[in-house]
Amino acid sequence: MNHTLILSYVTFIYFASFVFYLFRMILKKEFWGYAASLLAWLGLFAHTLAMMLRWRASYDLGFGHVPITNLYESLVFFAWSIIMLYLAIEWRIKSRILGTFVVPVAFFVMAYASIAPGVDHSIEPLIPALQSNWLTTHVLTCFMGYAAFTVAFGCGLLYLWTEKKETRETNPASHPKENSSVLNTLDVLIYQSTSLGFIFLAMGIITGSVWAHYAWGSYWSWDPKEIWSLITWLIYAIMLHARFVRGWRGRRMAMMTIVGFVSVLFTYLGVNFLTSLHNYI
């Protein structure tokens, strides 16, 4: 089967999974949670398969390269990283609470990849600048970072939502303790996923500058993409410092994940509207 076709199915699978996570949250029936997780795993499997097929297809075309070399492929890989990381977390914390807020991001990314104008779906051979072993490491670390920040963003949204719900239900007979333990878990998750993303982004920037040292003659060129990745990194650095030094927790950290995520999006997509050395992604 054609990988493009599989990927369009995957987009719908993620959408269905999101809808089921939503049902689970609203109807409070774990059955929908099982269905949602199952779909997400199925989607991840098909997604992986499609990327491998695309990889092989590039070899059949005679040049052969990892499928992470243009905007379309990077979007597909971004969605893959988000789902993979999300499922890992779901499995670890044994709770499906986050699904409603993270899985839709993966769906939007996939949908954007397939319908946005100017996103080229074809497999192209690598131009000389991209013919490097650093390509895989650099892209992999950057997108793992982005994915971790996306998960943190999902946690942040859920945190704010839960908190709001809690203040709305002023009735003391409702379970404030249960909610506050959820908030605690979310706070820890925000911190953990942010720090994971922070490390990956740092590795992405460093592998990128090692590559730039070989390709562009300078490890740092003050290219808009480089600057914005640094800005993103600094935003998360401020966030983590605020936690360690100032003891920020909860709502402020949740707000910061949103600020950081906007910066991530700008680094990833917004910069493409500026002249950049990175214009192949």
Partner 1 sequence: MVVIFIVATLVPPQRMDSEWLWLNDLYHSKMFYVLMGLFSLNLMVCSIQRIPFAIKQYKTPSFPPPSGLYENLAPNRIIVTDKKMETVSRAVESLLKSKLFSVKETKLEKGKMLYRESGRLSLFGVYVVHLGVLMIIAGMVIGSVFGLEADLRLSEGEETNIIQLRNGEGEHPLDFSVRCDKFVVEFYDTGVPKTYRSELSFIKNGQVVRQGSVLVNHPLSFDGLRFYQASYGVSEKSRARLTYSNAGAESPEISAGQGDTFDLPVQKAKATVLRVEENMMQFGPAVKLNIETDKRNIQFWMFQHIQDIADVNPGLFSAVPLFNPGLFKPLVFSLRGIEGKYYTGLQVVRDPGVPFVLAGGLILIAGMMVIFFIAYRRIWFLLEQDPAGVRIRVAGRSHRYNEALQRRLDDLCAWMEKELAA
Q: Which residues sit at the interface with partner 1, rule CB under 8 A?
A: 63, 124-125, 127-129, 131-132, 184, 188, 195-196, 198-199, 202-203, 206, 209-210, 213-220, 222, 224, 227-228, 230-231, 234, 237-238, 241-242, 244-246, 274
Instruction: Give CA torsion, residues 102, 49, 9, 80, to 10 deg.
Output: 20
Please give the structure tokens belonging to residue 261.
């995520």
Q: Measure the CA–CA gap between 153 and 229, rounded to whole angstroms.
A: 17
Nearest to 119 by CA among 280, 229, 266, 9: 280
Looking at the Cβ atoms of 5 and 88, the one nearer to partner 1 is 88
What minimum distance in Å lies between the beta carbon of 237 and partner 1?
7
Closer CB to partner 1, 131 or 279, in the complex: 131
Instruction: State in angstroms the smallest separation of the CB of 194 from partner 1.
Output: 10
Dihedral angle at the C-alpha atoms of 61, 65, 67, 72, nearest 10 degrees? -70
DSSP state of 126: P
In degrees, to the nearest 5, what angle opens at C-alpha 51 toward C-alphas 153 and 229? Answer: 40
Nearer to partner 1 (CB atom), residue 19 or residue 147: 147
Least distance to partner 1, CB of residue 163, Å: 18
Smallest separation (angstroms) from partner 1 to the CB of 132: 4
Q: What is the closest distance, in whole angstroms, from the C-beta atom of residue 222 to partner 1 in the complex?
A: 5
* Single-letter amino acid code for the residue at 150: T
CB distance 146 to 264 below 8 Å: yes
Of 95 and 195, the one with the shorter C-beta distance to partner 1 is 195
Nearer Cβ to partner 1 (215/269) = 215
